[in-house]
Structure 1
């Protein structure tokens, strides 16, 4: 069972910016202030593997993005939708813009899903753009200002994880 995880608008408000190469939250709160809520949920779902679907993996690198998570969440992380090889040199030039930069978050996730052959997955994101009707049920859409602090979003995530667990058991 795989959880595609965005950071901004999910684990903290969608007001994070890179300032001198370091993420900062502009506004009230702090970075990853809602991560304990996800940690608590995943305590009941130890089998969940997290794939980072956040732009942090592109901007900071996979390992630096992963390392911002608290240890309990970090232990679930197995990959990211972005990999540095996606910007591999073409004819000796490092690609500044790639397919990934033009794709919606949904397209990035679907590419990973296809390559990994995943069937049991869910995504938590505040960007619902581009999601198809066939996969709409796999998205926990959060309000960018509330993220997982919204009890309805948290309950929806738990419900989707429970349903995935049941479908895997069949």
Structure 2
């Protein structure tokens, strides 16, 4: 199971900005204040891996973006929807600040869907505060958070846990019941 994870509006309010290359939260609270809630929600699901679907992976690069997460989440992170090759132009030149890429024009859903299709994922969910552009066929995979409450909203955690439990039930083999034969009265 893959969990696509946004940061802003999910792990802290959607008011994080880069100031001199460092993320700063311009709202009450702290950066990643709701990350422990995600750690708790995933505790019973050791097979869940995380793919970063956040602009932090582009702005700060993958390794640095991942480093902001608690260790329990860092060890689950296997990739990101953004990678530096996406900043290349048609001639293969690398521009780290090229803002005219497909990724920059795509909705979060399109970014996630591209990753899903390329990796041929079957079992996946996404936590995000941006519901724009989600296809009806995949909308049930989205745990949509309120940009100001993120995972601090108990309803978001309940939805996440429900979808995780449902996914586990679907992947477990069904036990066959065999009828009892003879000797019983």
What interval of TM-score do these two structures reach, taking the shorter chain for normalisation?
over 0.9
In the alignment, what sits opposite 2:103?
100
Q: Secondary structure at 2:18's aligned position in 1? A: strand
Contact 2:87 2:94 in 1 (8 A): yes
1:1-170 alignment to 2 at 5 Å?
Answer: 1-91=1-91, 93-95=93-95, 96=98, 97-170=100-173
Give me the TM-score of the superposition, normalised by structure 1: 0.97
How far is the alpha carbon of 1:27 from its aligned partner?
1.5
RMSD: 1.1
What whole-Å deviation, never above 9, does each CA across 1:56-81 have from its counterpart, x for those lacking one? 00110011100110101101100000
What whole-Å deviation, never above 9, does each CA across 1:12-53 have from its counterpart, x for those lacking one? 000000000000000100000000000011111111000000
What whole-Å deviation, never above 9, does each CA across 1:116-149 have from its counterpart, x for those lacking one? 1101000000000000110010000000000001
Q: Aligned partners of 2:19 and 2:50: how far apart in 1?
A: 27
Q: Aligned partners of 2:172 and 2:66: how far apart in 1?
A: 29
- CA gap of 1:168–1:90, structure 2 versus 1, over 3 A, is same
Q: Secondary structure at 1:133's aligned position in 2? A: coil
Q: Secondary structure at 1:24's aligned position in 2? A: strand
How far is the alpha carbon of 1:99 from its aligned partner?
0.2
Give me the TM-score of the superposition, normalised by structure 2: 0.89
Q: Secondary structure at 2:4's aligned position in 1? A: strand
Greater gyration radius: 2
Consecutive unaligned residues in structure 1, runs of 5 or more: none
How far is the alpha carbon of 1:113 from its aligned partner?
0.2
How far is the alpha carbon of 1:92 from its aligned partner?
5.8
Q: Secondary structure at 2:24's aligned position in 1? A: strand
